[in-house]
Amino acid sequence: MADLFSAEWMQGFAKEWNAEPELADALAKIHFNSAIAYGFVDDPNPMGVLIVQEGRVVSAGSYEGQNLNWDLRADRDHWQQWKTKGLNMMGLGMAYMSRKLQFRVGDYTAMIQDPRMAKPFIKSFSVIGRV
């Protein structure tokens, strides 16, 4: 099993992302384009990054200085918990308010207020669990 957010893991995440209609198709409908990074709170830089165009991941791998629209961070234990159990809207709010999930880049408030983005974002946590 590849390490969480390694290049190999991110490629598996990309495959699962693109296979999930509630994520890829939903984001395609709103013409979602973004560079989304994932990593750990204690690291200066994120580990992995997805490049999303029209809702689908077109590139996945290690973070190498790409300009980011989103940079999501948590400690290893919380990522593992969300990987196993997923995350719902209430859990997301609690994780954000308690700083267990940090948005180093990106506007959490704008995202969470737009159901067209919030629902796929929540879905991404169940997709993480498939990798």
| Closest alpha carbon to 86 in 112, 122, 119, 115 | 122
Tell me the domains of the chain and their CATH numbers. 7-128 (3.30.1050.10)
Backbone angles phi, psi at 130, to 5 degrees: -90, -10
Q: Which amino acid is present at 111?
A: M
List, edge to edge, every strand of the sheet that includes 34-40: 56-62, 48-53, 34-40, 70-74, 102-105
Alpha carbon distance 104, 45 (integer Å) = 10
pLDDT (tens, 9 = 90+) of the chain, 131 residues, equals 569 999 999 999 999 999 999 999 999 999 999 999 999 999 999 999 999 999 999 999 999 999 999 999 999 999 999 999 888 889 988 999 999 999 999 999 888 899 899 999 999 999 999 99
